[in-house]
Amino acid sequence: MKWFDYATPASVGEAVGLLKTHPGARLLAGGTDLIVQLRAGRKETDLVVDLKHIPELNAIGYDAAGGLTIGASVPCYKIYRDPAIARAYPALIELASLIGGTQIQGRASLGGNLCNAAPSADSVPLLIAMRATCRMTGPGGTREIAVEDFCTAPGRNVLQPGELLVSLHLPPPAPHSGARYLRFIPRNEMDIAVAGAGVEVVLDDGKFRSARIALAAVAPTPLFVREAGDALAGQPVNETTIARAADIARAGAKPITDMRGTADYRRHLCGVLTRRALEAAVQRAREGKR
Amino acid sequence: MHNTVRVQTTINGEAREFLCEPRQSLLECLRDVLGLTGTKEGCNDGNCGACTVLMDDRVVTSCLVLGVEAQGAQITTIEGIARGSDLHPLQRAFLQNAALQCGVCTPGFIVAAKALLDREPNPNEEQIRLWLANNLCRCTGYDKIIRAVEQAAEEARA
């Protein structure tokens, strides 16, 4: 690795100041992407800014009225050990448990996964489906955007120079709602998604009140397929309506062929994973387990 | 122009202080600066788990941690697993079950498995395999490793 200096700001303001004086600085949360990229020479920097000493980037906060706030550098293992998240957002527990393996989960954060902006990022489709928003702070102040608007291209996102992701926010779980992320990989653990589908459904008396569906690894960014979820709104919960939504999701995918799978195979996976994720989310909503 | 950094940390229960460059991984610091060569370098990119150590309450691959991040942390390496010449039940079970051949992955497996048993004294096979999915072994085919962890768990409960 090339030489760099290292800073541990204690506040968001201090971090923003460092980004201003060091435009080439890189932000470090868990390092499971950044350290690999620096070592391989895919990224260079003169300053690594470690975000783990900033309280609000490392906190989890939940209340039933306001929802959930996850600091941008909170590692996965803290998410799946959090009893409030386990009760209110069980799909997030599964999500944090399937990224990498135990060691990666000890370091990797959802915020880092989002900022790295890989098309295959496992955490992003579910965050989109669960209506998560991003809070970002920079020299111009603080702004919030929806997660589906954050990634702009492989490895690229909307963060402006000097701006950093502070936290992710999820609204409180709606009554009779359920969420699920499913991913296909050729082994059980430790692999990059060939395709993935994250969904959330809200049920109302045997019908879908609303649904949101997003896909991984089938477009240059994590892909929100709004029309697939919208097609379920007001429809009865049954095989036919779920199959139709899965067809729309499959049609919305824009995959490429690479060493992990062909475009055709990925499209097929989108249909299957969307259907199964919807079925699982419906089950969860009916059981009141979200 | 570039400065080295002084890091104060606790390794295997002992206060340690060392100088490192910010670009050095915790793995390099353990092996090359502190002479703790029990922790092995495998892939050096987080995939193989050979360099696994405990950092505070979590399991990490030390190749993906900067040495400077160890400031103020509690680190446990393979050297801290045995009590003097008294092997940890996991170490005994690995020997008795021949759960190693070349041995490069073994320190990582043992450190990771210890963290599992500390959290879950009675893991089933699936839990063990899932927990150790970030540790690769190219010699044993894993089965002997799983049996060794099961045996150590059983012994620790007895």
Three-state secondary structure string covering A166-204: EEEEECCCCCCEEEEEEEECCCCCCCCCCEEEEEEEEEE
> Taking residues B111-133, what's their average pLDDT?
97
> Taking residues B39-55, what's their average pLDDT?
97
Quick: pLDDT tens for A228-287. 999 999 999 999 999 999 999 999 999 999 999 999 999 999 999 999 999 999 999 999
Distance from CA of B131 to the nearest CA of A (A): 6
Q: Which of B23, B130, B131 sits opposite A4 (nearest CB)?
A: B23
Whether pLDDT at A290 is above 80: no
Q: Which residues of A touch B (CB under 8 A)?
A: 1-6, 28, 30-32, 35-36, 38-40, 48, 50, 52, 75, 77, 100-104, 106-107, 188-190
Q: How confident is the model at residue B57 (pLDDT cuts 50, 70, 90)?
A: confident
Residues whose CB is less than 8 angstroms from the CB of residue A263 and which lie 6 or more positions away in sequence, other chains included = A255, A256, A257
Quick: pLDDT tens for A141-186. 999 999 999 999 999 999 999 999 999 999 999 999 999 999 999 9
> How many residue pairs from chains A and B have C-beta atoms closer than 8 A?
88
Sequence ranges of the domains in chain A: 5-53, 55-170, 177-285
Residues of chain B above pLDDT 90, percent: 95
Which tokens hold the place of A96? 């944090």
Tell me whether B59 touches chain A (CB under 8 Å). yes
- Residue B151 is predicted with a pLDDT of 97
Q: Which CATH number fits domain A55-170: 3.30.465.10, 3.40.50.300, 3.20.20.140, 3.30.43.10?
A: 3.30.465.10
- Residue A232 is predicted with a pLDDT of 98
> Searching chain A, which residue's CA lies closest to the CA of residue B134?
A101
Instruction: Calculate the average pLDDT of chain B.
Output: 96
Give how far Cα B30 sits from Cα of A38, B38, B70, B103, Å.
20, 9, 11, 18
Whether pLDDT at B1 is above 60: no
Q: Tell me the pTM.
A: 0.96
- Residue A219 is predicted with a pLDDT of 97
Question: Do the Cβ atoms of A106 and B44 come within 8 Å?
Answer: no
Residue among A44, A49, A42, A65 nearest A14 (CA):
A49
Tell me whether B3 touches chain A (CB under 8 Å). yes
Residue with token string 């393996």: A101
- Residue B129 is predicted with a pLDDT of 96
Distance from CA of A74 to the nearest CA of B (A): 13
The ipTM (two decimal places) reads 0.96
Question: Do the Cβ atoms of A6 and B49 come within 8 Å?
Answer: no
Q: Which CATH class is domain A177-285?
A: alpha beta
Write out chain A residues lying below 8 Å of B115, CB-based.
102
Q: How far is CA A44 from the centre of its chain?
A: 25
What CATH number has the domain spanning A5-53?
Answer: 3.30.43.10
Q: Could you give all domains of chain B from N- to C-terminal order, each with its CATH number?
A: 5-80 (3.10.20.30), 89-157 (1.10.150.120)
Whether pLDDT at B86 is above 70: yes
Whether pLDDT at A224 is above 80: yes
Residue among A15, A24, A106, A20 nearest A56 (CA):
A15
> Taking residues B112-134, what's their average pLDDT?
97
Whether pLDDT at A194 is above 80: yes
- Identify the three-state secondary structure at position B40: coil
Query: How far apart are alpha carbons B17 and A96 in whole angstroms?
Result: 34
Q: How confident is the model at residue B156 (pLDDT cuts 50, 70, 90)?
A: confident
Q: How confident is the model at residue A289 (pLDDT cuts 50, 70, 90)?
A: low
> Taking residues A123-134, what's their average pLDDT?
98
- Identify the three-state secondary structure at position B35: coil
- Identify the three-state secondary structure at position A82: coil
Question: Do the Cβ atoms of B133 and A188 come within 8 Å?
Answer: yes
Tell me whether B126 touches chain A (CB under 8 Å). no
Whether pLDDT at A190 is above 90: no
Quick: pLDDT tens for A34-75. 999 999 999 999 999 999 999 999 999 999 999 999 999 999
Question: Which of the pair, A180 or A205, is modelled with greater confidence?
Answer: A180
Q: How confident is the model at residue B158 (pLDDT cuts 50, 70, 90)?
A: confident
- Residue A10 is predicted with a pLDDT of 98
Question: Do the Cβ atoms of B46 and A6 come within 8 Å?
Answer: no
